[in-house]
Amino acid sequence: MPTEPSTIPPPHRREGSRHWQWCLRPVGLPFSGFRGQKVLRESERDRIIFLHGKVNEDSGDTHGEDAVVILEKTPFQVENVAQLLTGRPELKLQFSNDIYSTYNLFPPRHLSDIKTTVVYPVTEKQLQKYMRQDPRLIRETGDDYRSITLPHLESQRLSIQWVYNILDKKAEADCTVFENPDPSDGFQLDDLYLIAICHRQGIKSLQDLTPEHLPLLRNILREGQEAIQKRYQVTGDRLRVYLLYLPSYYHLHVHFTALGFEAPGSGEEQAHLLAEVIENLECDPKHYQERTLTFALRTDDPLLQLLQGNQRP
């Protein structure tokens, strides 16, 4: 979570869920039972673990079904932190030395929630997606994008219907922070992270951008920063506004995070600051059609093999 006194909402990975503050309602899991099979991935830094398990084994299917459950410790909410220490908190002493002492603190139920993302039913391909893999850096030219990456993406037929559901107000309508409804140069700023999703369809990624899209990009940068300042009192000079390449889904969207937060994927090889994207297009209309981009791919990603096969020795 960002360390500024006034912050935008704590970010999370997009797995089909809304911001946790707007989803606190009693529900049940979409399956019965969970028998752990494997820890797919975990990160002590991010306080997150990805679990593969068998579910519904008591339904008559002796093999059960596969599910992935992602458990993530939620960030502290500044306004609630003092409640952890009021009264007589439940503590277990680890050690004490002079003026220093360390405890395990067991918070009350309403302050100990764990963000839980469920992927069910899950396919073998999706299981592989969540497993830890050693990434490899690859360089992609404009010709590579047009002749290899784009045909590969189209062959995968990856669904982004959930994005259109958001834009059409069929889902997560209460997550909208700001909207410019212009169908060509407008966008919707959603409290998913925060993410600005453009209304216009057909712009898949950074590689598709041309000067034709400058009005849209300028609107996202200016109006997005203004909306965040109005809503969360975070000024533009305290925000990182960027596009990812490769993106997690292929409908143009822009990320807004506080500078104090190290968002997943915001490293130098994947994040492209929106202000610099705009400047690049202003200086060279064919910048992203001709530029070679460097990014990381998992070793089991078919796109990596396709691009490596086209690399010059």
Catalytic residues: 253
Which element (helix H / strand E) includes 221? helix 214-232
Cα(89)–Cα(309) distance, integer angstroms: 60
Instruction: Give the dihedral of Cα atoms 213, 214, 215, 216; nearest 10 deg.
Output: 50
> What's the one-letter identity of residue 268?
E
Q: Which residues contact 230 (CB under 8 A, 6 or more apart)?
A: none
In whole angstroms, what separates CA 284 from the centre of its chain?
30
Burial class (CB in 10 A: 0-12, 13-18, 19+), 190: buried
β-strands 271-273, 135-140 pairing? unpaired
- DSSP for 149-171, please give it: IHHHHHHHT---HHHHHHHTTSS
H or E element at residue 274: helix 274-283
What Å distances lie between residue 32 and 35, 71, 256, 292, CA to CA?
10, 17, 37, 49
Q: What is the largest CA-CA distance in the chain?
A: 68
Query: 97 Cβ partners below 8 Å, 6+ apart?
Result: none
Burial of 189 from C-beta contacts in 10 A (0-12 / 13-18 / 19+): buried
